[in-house]
Amino acid sequence: MSDEAKTGLNRREFFSFLAVGWITFGAATAGLLSLIFRFTYPNVVFEPAMDFLAGVPDDYPEGVDERWKNGFGVWIYKKDGRLVAMSNICTHLGCIPTWLPAESKFKCPCHGSGYYPNGINFEGPAPRPLERFKIYRNPDGKIIVDKTKVFRYEKGEWNAAEAFIEV
């Protein structure tokens, strides 16, 4: 009688084995899924900061300035006493236009959208002008460009208080 009890599992033991098995399986699966989930996030992010110090207005020549384009994705444009920070993302499908000094225009390499130096779209499929970023002076008089706030021309925001600075 005792031999028989040892060879087989009774009902209670079966369920405790079952529970242990399922919990182990569930934990292993959850662990694996959490690894996969973690894998979707990069270890190092090369994203530049959303706002940056951009010197003083006298640093910039009249017209388009490319010095922050590679680091922060911003063109500084100075014209008629106004200094603005332009996004370098095409409003058509988000490629990065090229500044062509000889033709005095921005031209997108993906679908050929063209913009005037002030960011107004004039050729190709781009539906609206390049966006502008918030730009202001800190107490020291240095320029700060804040990419978290966007000003859109078609919404009439380019004359808003922080869309440009007077120089």
Binding to other proteins, residues 50-89 (CB under 8 A): 69-73, 88
Question: Cβ of residue 21: shortest distance to other proteins, in angstroms?
Answer: 40
Give me the DSSP letters along 152-167.
-GGGT-TTSTTS-EE-
Q: Strand 63-65 relative to strand 74-79: parallel, antiparallel, unpaired?
A: antiparallel
- Quote the CA–CA distance of 77 and 81 in Å, as a whole number: 10
- Phi (first) and psi of residue 28, to 5 degrees: -65, -45
Of 46 and 58, the one with the shorter C-beta distance to other proteins is 46
List the one residue from 9, 56, 122, 137 that touches other proteins (CB under 8 A).
122
- Quote the CA–CA distance of 127 and 107 in Å, as a whole number: 14
List the one residue from 33, 155, 159, 160 that touches other proteins (CB under 8 A).
155
Cα–Cα separations (whole angstroms), residue 127 to 27, 74, 119, 124, 157: 51, 20, 12, 9, 17
Of 69 and 79, the one with the shorter C-beta distance to other proteins is 69
List the one residue from 33, 59, 154, 160 that touches other proteins (CB under 8 A).
154
Contacting residues toward other proteins, per CB under 8 A: 46-47, 69-73, 88, 91-93, 95-96, 98, 100, 102-103, 107-112, 114, 122-125, 127-128, 154-155
